[in-house]
Structure 1
Amino acid sequence: MKLWRLIRRRKMMIGAIALTLTVGATAAQAAGADKITLPIPVNFPIFSGGAKVEVDKEAVVIDGSTYLPLRAFGEALGKQIDWNDWERTITLKNAPKLKSVSTWNNPGALGKGISEGGFSGLTRIPGDPENVFYTLADRGPNGQVGKDKLRTFPVDDFQPRIYKIKADGEKLEILETIKLQLPEGKTDAVTKSRFITGLPNMVGADEIPYDELGQKELSYDPDGLDLEGIAYNPNDDTFWLADEYRPSLVQVKRDGTVLKRFVPFGAKQALAGAQTDIVELFPAFYNKRVPNRGFEGVTITPDGKTLYASIQSPLALPDQKTSDNSRNLRILKMDLSKQELVGEYVYYAENAASYEGIKQKDQVISDLFALSSNVLLVDERDKMAGKEAQVKRIYKSDFSKATNLLGTDYSANLEAMPQEMLRQAGIVPVTKELIVDFVKLGYPHEKIEGIVAVDKRTIAIVNDNDFAVNYDEQGKLSLTGTPTQMHVVELQEDLY
C-alpha cells in the first residue's frame, strides 16, 4: 500500500488517519490561520539508531509541520505497518523475526527427472513434538504448454499423498508417506487399483489432461483429487482435505482411505463412475468455481467441533469477468458433528490497485488455521515471487461479528458487490489483523500454501514449489530448481 498515494487520492489530512508521525519544522512558515499551504517536499535526512532511514517518498511540510513517510519510518523502528482498507485504520506492531528455514534436500524421484514436492497445506496433531507436522502434495507435477496453454501431467500416474514431516534445523525430513486410496473392494478407473490419481474428474467442467508434450489426451478420473489443504479432527482421528476440482472437501482415515467426498449440489450425478462416497453439501453455485481456484484452505477448531474452508478466488458469479475484479472471498463454516453447513462469510481481499503489477484475480487465500472457534489465521498472497512480491501475509481474522450470509439472497450475488454495496447492505466481513508480512522477511517463493500456529508466538509455513516443473518457450519441460521449504517465524506479540 502506497501511503502517500492513498493520502493524495483521497485528499485526506494526515491528522485524520488513525496514526501519524509529526515533528515541528522551521523549514516553512504557515501562510495564516485561515489558509492551508500546499505540501512542500523537503530532503531531511532521517536517522534511527545512528543509521540513515531510506524512504521511498520525501518528507513534506504542511503549515509548518513536517510529515514523514509512515511505513519507512515505522519499519526503521522495528515496527510492522498495516493499512486496513475496510476499517480505514493503520496499525503498528512489533515486527516478527525469521527463526529458521528447513529444506527438503533429497526429495524422492518421480520420473523424467522430476522430484517430489508440491506441499499444499499444513497441520499438526495434538501431542506430537513441536517440530512434527502433516502436509500433502497436490495433483502432482503439471504445467501448461503451447499457445493454448494445454494442461500437462508429465507424471500421469502420480498418486495424491499426505506426508508426515519433521523440521530438524536446516533439514526437512519425511517421516511417513501416506498415499490416498479407495475403501477395500473399490477400484479406481485409471489405476485399476485402490489408489487414486491427481487427474481431473470430468469433461467440460475441468481442464483437459494431456501428456508431457501436450499431444495426447489422458483419461479423466472421477475420483481424482487436486489437494490443497489439510486439517485434523481430534474427535474422530480423521484428516479433512481441501480439493480444487469440484470443489470438494474429503474426509480420510489416518491411513489415507477416503471415507467421504463433500461436493456442491448437482455435482454427484456428474461424477458418475466415482467409487468414493459422494455427499452433496455446498450450494449449487459453488460449481461455478474458477478452474484451479476451488477449495484451497481448510482448518478445524481445537475442540474438533467446527471446520472452516476457503475458496481460493471469487466464484465466477455471474461470470469470469466479475470473478476477476471481485475482492470478496468466501469462507464456509461446517458443524462436524452434524456434517452440515452453518455459516458463510466474506473475507475482503487486499486491493490490487494499491500495488504495482498485481491483478485482482491473483489476490488469493491459500490456507487457514484455527486458533479458536471464531478466530483463524488466513494466508493471503499475490502471484509474484522474490523482489516483485508485494503481498505474502498472514492475517488474524475474527468471525464472531461478521455477517453470516449462508442461505441469503446476498450469498448468490456476493462477487458482484463492491465495498460500498456491502456497506449499504449491512454486510460485515471478517476482521483482518496483520500478523506476519513475509515480504519484509525476504520470503523468496511465490506460494505460501500451508500455515500452522505452533504456539502463541510461533508460526510455521511451507511453500508449494510446483514440483519445480516449468516449460520453456519451445514447449520443452524444464526444472526451476525451486526447493520445498519450511519457514518458522517468531512473533513479538502473543497470538492468543
Structure 2
Amino acid sequence: MKIKSLALLCASLFPLYASAAQPQIERYVVSFPQGDRVAYQGASASAFPDGLPVGVGSGLHFLRKEGDDLLFTTLTDRGPNADAPKTGKRESKIFVNPDYTPLLMTIRVGNNKAEAIDAHPLHDEQGNISGLPLPEGFIGATNEAALSESLQLLGSDKRGLDTEGITSDGNGGYWICDEYGPFIAHISADGKILQKYGPQAESSEQSVAGGLPNIVKWRQPNRGFEGLTRMPDGRIIAAVQSTLDIDGKSKNSARFTRLVSFDPATGKTASYGYPIDIDAYKKAKDAKVGDIVALDDQRLLLIEQGADKEKNMRNRIYLVDLSKASDLTSFDKQPPEFDDEAALKSRGIVLASKQLVVDLRALGWQQEKVEGLALIDNKTLAVINDNDFGVRTELTDALSGKDKMDDYTADGKGHLLVDGEVVKTKIAVRPLDKPESENELWIISLPDAL
C-alpha cells in the first residue's frame, strides 16, 4: 500500500548536493498477497487470530526493473522473538515460534503498492535451518538463553543463523550475513546455503566456519554482521553492527566499527574502521549500523542509527570512502579499539571518511530502525524497516515496584524469580501497535547523482 508521496524543501539536509532541487519520497507499507503468516498457537493466540505478520526487511537488495515495477530481494531475521529476563547470568530471549526458518522473499513495488511474494526458506543439505543461537563453547555463541513462551529453556543449534543482510553474487545467487557468528554465507536463488564463513578459530577454539578475521568474534552479542554488499570488483564487504567488545573491555572506548572485506575468489580478507558519530551517543556501543550498499570499488552508502544522548533515535545515511582507510589487520595485535583519536593518529591508522547524504528522521521517518538499504540507480535509494514480526512481551501480575524485565530472572523451567524465590509474575506475548508492526519501505529520489 502506498502511503503518500512528498517533496521536501530542505536542501540543507543534503550537504553532498549543491542543487536546490527537492528530493522526492514514496512511502509504502509492504503487504503479503499470498497470505504469508507465521504460525502461532501460544497462550496469547487470541491476540493473533491470523498468526504473526512476517517480518521482512532485515536486508534489501535491488534486483531489476520490470516495466514500471521495481523488484527487490529481502530477508527475515531469525524469527519472532522478544525480551525476557536473564536466565541466571545469561541474557535471554523468548522465541515465540522456535521452529521458525528464516525466509528469502521478493518485494515487488508497482501500481501504488509493495508486495512481498515468493518465500523460500533458508536450508542446507540437512534441511531447513533454524534461528536458534549457537551452542556455548563455539565462536559465535552469544551467551544467550533461548526460552519458549512458557519460559522453558530451549536448545541451541550449530546451524542456526540470525540473518541480517543480502546482496547479489552476480550469478543469480546471493550473499547473506548473520549476527551470531558473525557469518557470511553464499546461497542459491532458492535459499540453499552453499558455503559459510566465520571468524577463523585459533588455538583451542571451536568454530562452525572459518576464513574471516578472528577478531570479529568479539562482536557484541546479537550485533554481528548487520549488512553486506558486493563491490564491483567482486569483494564482499560486511559491516559489524556496533563496536567490538574485545575481552569485554572495548565497546565503550572504540571510535569505530568494522567493515570486513572478503574476496571469495582468493580468500583474502581486510578490515577497515568506520568512524561512528561518537559524540552523539551516551556510550559508543549505542551506535549501530543498519545496512550498506556499494557505489563503486571504494565507496559505499551506510546507515548509522541509534538512540542519542537525549534518547532520541537517529537514522542517517552516509557516503563512506575507503580509498585512504588503513587495513587494520596489521594493527590487530594491539587492537585499535582501545585507542583514542590521538593514539590512532600516532599509530598511522586512518579510518574511512564519511559525508552525510540523508537524515531520515528529518524527512519524517518514524520507525525505530532502518535495516535494509538498496541502490536503484545513482539518484534513487530504497530503505526498509524490520517490524520484529509484530510482537513484544510484557509482564503480567508484576510485583509492586517490580515492573521491568530486569527486576526478574528466569530459571529456564517455567518460572520467574525475585531474589531467588519463585513469583506468580508471568510474561505475555502481545502485538506491536501500528506503525511499528508494519514493514515500511521508502523510495528516495535524490536531487543529484551520487
Which TM-score applies when normalising by structure 2? 0.80
1:399 aligned onto 2:341:
no
1:420 aligned onto 2:420:
no
1:287 aligned onto 2:217:
yes
Aligned counterpart, 1:45: none
Aligned ranges for residues 120-139 of structure 1 at < 5 Å?
120-125=58-63, 131-139=70-78
Q: What is the root-mean-square deviation in Å for CA atoms of aligned residues?
A: 2.6
Q: Which residue of the other structure, out of 272, 292, 297, is the alignment partner of 1:373?
A: 297
Larger strand proportion of the pair: 2
Instruction: Note closer, same or farther for the CA distance 1:95–1:219 as it changes in structure 2 (3 Å cut).
Output: farther
Q: Which residue of the other structure, out of 268, 271, 275, is the alignment partner of 1:348?
A: 275
Structure 1 CA distance for aligned equivalents of residues 18 and 193 of structure 2 = 45
Provide Cα deviations, 1:155-197, integer angstroms capped at 9, x if missing partner: 11111111111122542212311111112xxx3xxxxxx1111
Gaps of 5+ in 2: 1-7, 41-47, 397-426
Instruction: Note closer, same or farther for the CA distance 1:494–1:359 as it changes in structure 2 (3 Å cut).
Output: same
Instruction: Note closer, same or farther for the CA distance 1:95–1:443 as it changes in structure 2 (3 Å cut).
Output: farther
Provide Cα deviations, 1:408-445, integer angstroms capped at 9, x if missing partner: 13465121112221122221111111111101111011
Instruction: Note closer, same or farther for the CA distance 1:221–1:419 as it changes in structure 2 (3 Å cut).
Output: same
Instruction: Note closer, same or farther for the CA distance 1:76–1:133 as it changes in structure 2 (3 Å cut).
Output: closer
Instruction: Note closer, same or farther for the CA distance 1:415–1:94 as it changes in structure 2 (3 Å cut).
Output: farther
Structure 1 CA distance for aligned equivalents of residues 289 and 334 of structure 2 = 20
Which TM-score applies when normalising by structure 1? 0.73
Provide Cα deviations, 1:76-124, integer angstroms capped at 9, x if missing partner: 8631266xxxxxxx99775863421111234622123222114211112
Provide Cα deviations, 1:350-393, integer angstroms capped at 9, x if missing partner: 12x436xx543121111110111111111111148xx9644211
Structure 1 CA distance for aligned equivalents of residues 10 and 319 of structure 2 = 23
Kept in 2, the 8 Å contact 1:370–1:376? The answer is: yes
Kept in 1, the 8 Å contact 2:63–2:72? The answer is: yes
Structure 1 residue 289 displacement after superposition:
1.6
Instruction: Note closer, same or farther for the CA distance 1:281–1:147 as it changes in structure 2 (3 Å cut).
Output: closer
Give the counterpart letter for 1:104 in structure 2: V
> What secondary structure does 1:476 align onto?
strand
Bigger Cα Rg: 1
Instruction: Note closer, same or farther for the CA distance 1:323–1:79 as it changes in structure 2 (3 Å cut).
Output: same
Provide Cα deviations, 1:35-68, integer angstroms capped at 9, x if missing partner: xxxxxxxxxxxxxxxxxxxxxxxxxxxxxxxxxx
The structure whose RCO (Cα within 8 Å, separation 6+) is larger is 2
Q: Which residue of the other structure, out of 431, 434, 442, is the alignment partner of 1:479?
A: 431
Q: Which residue of the other structure, out of 81, 84, 94, is the alignment partner of 1:142?
A: 81
Aligned counterpart, 2:287: 363
1:308 aligned onto 2:237:
yes
Give the counterpart letter for 2:213 in structure 1: P
Structure 1 residue 336 displacement after superposition:
2.4
Structure 2 CA distance for aligned equivalents of residues 470 and 217 of structure 1 = 19
Structure 1 residue 126 displacement after superposition:
5.2
> What secondary structure does 2:128 align onto?
coil
Instruction: Note closer, same or farther for the CA distance 1:299–1:93 as it changes in structure 2 (3 Å cut).
Output: same
Higher deviation after alignment, 96-105 or 260-269: 260-269
Structure 2 CA distance for aligned equivalents of residues 95 and 442 of structure 1 = 18
Structure 2 CA distance for aligned equivalents of residues 127 and 340 of structure 1 = 34
Aligned ranges for residues 384-463 of structure 1 at < 5 Å?
389-406=312-329, 408-410=330-332, 412-463=334-385
Structure 1 residue 238 displacement after superposition:
2.1
Structure 1 residue 338 displacement after superposition:
1.6
Kept in 2, the 8 Å contact 1:94–1:493? The answer is: no
Q: Which residue of the other structure, out of 172, 176, 196, is the alignment partner of 1:237?
A: 172
Instruction: Note closer, same or farther for the CA distance 1:334–1:412 as it changes in structure 2 (3 Å cut).
Output: farther
Q: Which residue of the other structure, out of 431, 437, 447, is the alignment partner of 1:492?
A: 447
Q: Which residue of the other structure, out of 223, 229, 247, is the alignment partner of 1:299?
A: 229
Instruction: Note closer, same or farther for the CA distance 1:256–1:446 as it changes in structure 2 (3 Å cut).
Output: same
Question: Identity rate of aligned residues, in percent?
Answer: 29
Structure 1 residue 291 displacement after superposition:
0.7
Kept in 2, the 8 Å contact 1:368–1:376? The answer is: yes
Kept in 1, the 8 Å contact 2:177–2:225? The answer is: yes
Aligned counterpart, 1:210: 147
